[in-house]
């Protein structure tokens, strides 16, 4: 390849008037963190690397599995065979796509004690997380550092997108004041997910990010966009709540960031001598066990009692108690237990 053809790499992006040479220059100087390297994260990372974002940091605690290949576009079969770390495999592929940018893999479970270090110096964060609670932590961190982030979520064929500016405009908690109780929301493992839908949502996230990074902030969508690709419904949700009443952006009470309310592994403990991990619910609630059993239908053998509902997987089982506590049996790895919880219980 000669240098002339290399210099043409961004020609079509620069040709697009709202971006232009100035916008591209800004994109090239940007540092973006992508939280999660699953269906949304891989597609967003692919777009951002090709657009020439100067520094991409990819964060994920999981390894590539066969069930990821249906939609997680940076991975190939060998990654699943080798059980590679997602962040590592994704970064290697991004380097092959664009050798001019810097990519940085971080294999970690994001918690209130490490989020500041993990997201340090990011100009923008793309939320491609597979669990709901982490967004409350990300929202706190983003407000405390005035960093914009692009929320995205997708289950089944339904997804939603919005950029939160963290500059006085409504925040994520203005829209969702409290985390939903366990078993109240579907996950990709309980309801399935269509690969084309996650590509659409990730593309919308990347577009909002490129608008912001290229200096086209007036073009950023001010509403939460919700798209149902299967039943052809598109909705725009305006967030009109007064920010004064919001615990995060109104009262500046960053309870998830300061650890007063736990997310993730902080609330998990290995149960001695039992080959099991217990994950406590940070906001104990009366969980609807019958509803959870219904969502698990078809995924494996289910045992229901008055006190808990249990799902048997290959060599592990998950027991969800009425207070939201979960015991994952068959592992002593907190991160693996947490992943199974996020996948099969959500919340
Ligand atoms: Zn708020």
The predicted structure's pLDDT at residue 137: 95
Helix axes 86-97, 39-51, angle to 10 degrees: 30
Average pLDDT, the chain: 90
Q: Give me ligand 1 centre to Cα 244, in Å.
A: 8
Question: Residue 284: which pLDDT band, with cuts at 50, 70 and 90?
Answer: low
Ligand 1 centre and the CA of 142: distance in Å?
A: 11
DSSP 329: E
Helix/strand number for the chain, H first, E second: 13, 14
- Separation of CA 163 and ligand 1 centre (Å): 13
User: For residue 61, how far is its CA from the centre of ligand 1 (angstroms)?
Assistant: 28
Rounded to the nearest angstrom, the distance between the alpha carbon of 168 and the centre of ligand 1 is: 8
How remote is the CA of residue 247 from the centroid of ligand 1, in Å? 7
Interval between CA 170 and ligand 1 midpoint (Å): 5
Q: In percent, how much of the chain has pLDDT > 70? A: 93
- Cα-to-centroid distance, 139 and ligand 1 (Å): 9
Distance from the alpha carbon of residue 299 to the mean position of ligand 1, in angstroms: 37
pLDDT value, residue 1: 53
CA of residue 309 to ligand 1 center, whole Å: 35
Please give the distance, rounded to the nearest whole angstrom, from the Cα atom of residue 250 to the centre of ligand 1: 6
Å from CA of 230 to ligand 1 middle = 31
Between the CA of 242 and the centroid of ligand 1 the distance, in Å, is 8
Burial degree of 257 (CB within 10 A; 0-12, 13-18, 19+):
buried
Look up the pTM and report it: 0.84
CA 190 to ligand 1 centroid distance, Å: 30
Taking 3-state DSSP, the helix, strand and coil percentages for the chain, each rounded to the nearest 5, stand at 35, 20, 45
Give me ligand 1 centre to Cα 177, in Å. Answer: 8
Task: Return the pLDDT at 265.
Answer: 42
Residue 149 Cα to ligand 1 middle (Å): 14
How many Å lie between the centroid of ligand 1 and the Cα of residue 293? 34
Ranges of each domain in the chain: 3-245, 264-344
Q: Which residue has the higher pLDDT, 125 or 192?
A: 125
**Digit-coded pLDDT (tens) for 201-224:** 999 999 999 999 999 999 999 999
- CA of 218 relative to ligand 1 center, distance in Å: 21
How far apart CA 271 and CA 16 sit, in angstroms, is: 57
- pLDDT tier at 241, thresholds 50, 70, 90: low
Contact, 280 vs 325, CB < 8 A?
yes
Query: Once rounded to an integer, what is the mean pLDDT over residues 3-26?
Result: 92
Query: How far is the centre of ligand 1, averaged over its atoms, from the C-alpha of 241 (Å)?
Result: 8
Residue range 264-344 in CATH 1.10.3470: no
Burial 309-330 (b: 16+ CB within 10 A, else e): bbbbbeebbbbbbbebbbbbbb
Please give the distance, rounded to the nearest whole angstrom, from the Cα atom of residue 228 to the centre of ligand 1: 26
Residue 270, H or E segment: strand 268-271
Q: What is the pLDDT of residue 2?
A: 58
Q: Which residues contact 88 (CB under 8 A, 6 or more apart)?
A: 105, 107
| Distance from residue 79's CA to the centre of ligand 1 (Å) | 40
- Segment 29-63, tens digit of pLDDT: 999 999 999 999 999 999 999 999 999 999 998 88
Residue ranges in the chain assigned as alpha helix (H): 3-7, 11-15, 20-28, 39-51, 77-82, 86-97, 115-119, 134-145, 172-175, 188-191, 195-213, 289-296, 334-344
CATH pick for 3-245 out of 1.10.3130.10, 3.40.50.280, 3.40.50.720, 3.30.365.10: 3.40.50.720
Ligand 1 midpoint to CA 173 (Å): 5
pLDDT for 249-282, tens place per residue? Answer: 999 999 999 988 876 545 667 766 678 888 876 6
> What pLDDT was estimated at residue 185?
77
Q: Is the pLDDT of residue 3 over 80?
A: no
């Amino acid at each position: 390849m000669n240098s002339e053809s290399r210099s043409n790499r961004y020609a079509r992006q620069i040709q697009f008037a709202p971006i232009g040479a100035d916008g591209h220059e800004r994109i090239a100087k940007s540092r973006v963190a992508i939280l999660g390297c699953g269906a949304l994260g891989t597609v967003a990372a692919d777009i951002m690397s090709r657009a020439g974002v100067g520094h991409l940091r990819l964060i994920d605690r999981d390894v590539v599995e066969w069930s990821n290949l249906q939609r997680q576009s940076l991975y190939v079969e060998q990654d699943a065979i080798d059980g590679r770390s997602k962040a590592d495999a994704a970064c290697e592929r991004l380097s092959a796509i664009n050798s001019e940018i810097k990519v940085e893999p971080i294999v970690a479970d994001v918690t209130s004690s490490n989020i500041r270090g993990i997201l340090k110096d990011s100009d923008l964060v793309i939320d491609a997380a597979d669990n709901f609670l982490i967004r409350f932590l990300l929202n706190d961190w983003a407000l405390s550092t005035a960093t914009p982030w692009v929320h995205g979520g997708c289950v089944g064929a339904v997804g939603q997108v919005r950029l939160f500016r963290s500059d006085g405009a409504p925040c994520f908690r203005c829209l969702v004041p409290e985390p939903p109780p366990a078993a109240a929301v579907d996950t990709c493992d309980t309801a399935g997910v269509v690969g084309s839908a996650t590509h659409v949502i990730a593309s919308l996230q990347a577009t909002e990010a490129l608008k912001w990074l290229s200096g086209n902030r007036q073009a950023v969508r001010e509403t939460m966009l919700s798209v149902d690709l299967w039943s052809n419904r598109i909705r725009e949700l305006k967030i009109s709540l007064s920010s004064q009443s919001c615990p995060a952006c109104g009262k500046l009470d960053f309870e998830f960031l300061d650890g007063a309310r736990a997310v993730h592994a902080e609330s998990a403990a290995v149960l001695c001598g039992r080959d099991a991990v217990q994950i406590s619910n940070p906001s104990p609630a009366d969980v609807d066990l019958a509803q959870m059993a219904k969502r698990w239908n078809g995924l494996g053998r289910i045992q229901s009692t008055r006190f808990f509902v249990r799902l048997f997987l290959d060599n592990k089982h998950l027991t969800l108690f009425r207070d939201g506590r979960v015991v994952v049996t068959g592992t002593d790895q907190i991160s693996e237990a947490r992943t199974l919880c996020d996948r099969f219980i959500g919340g």
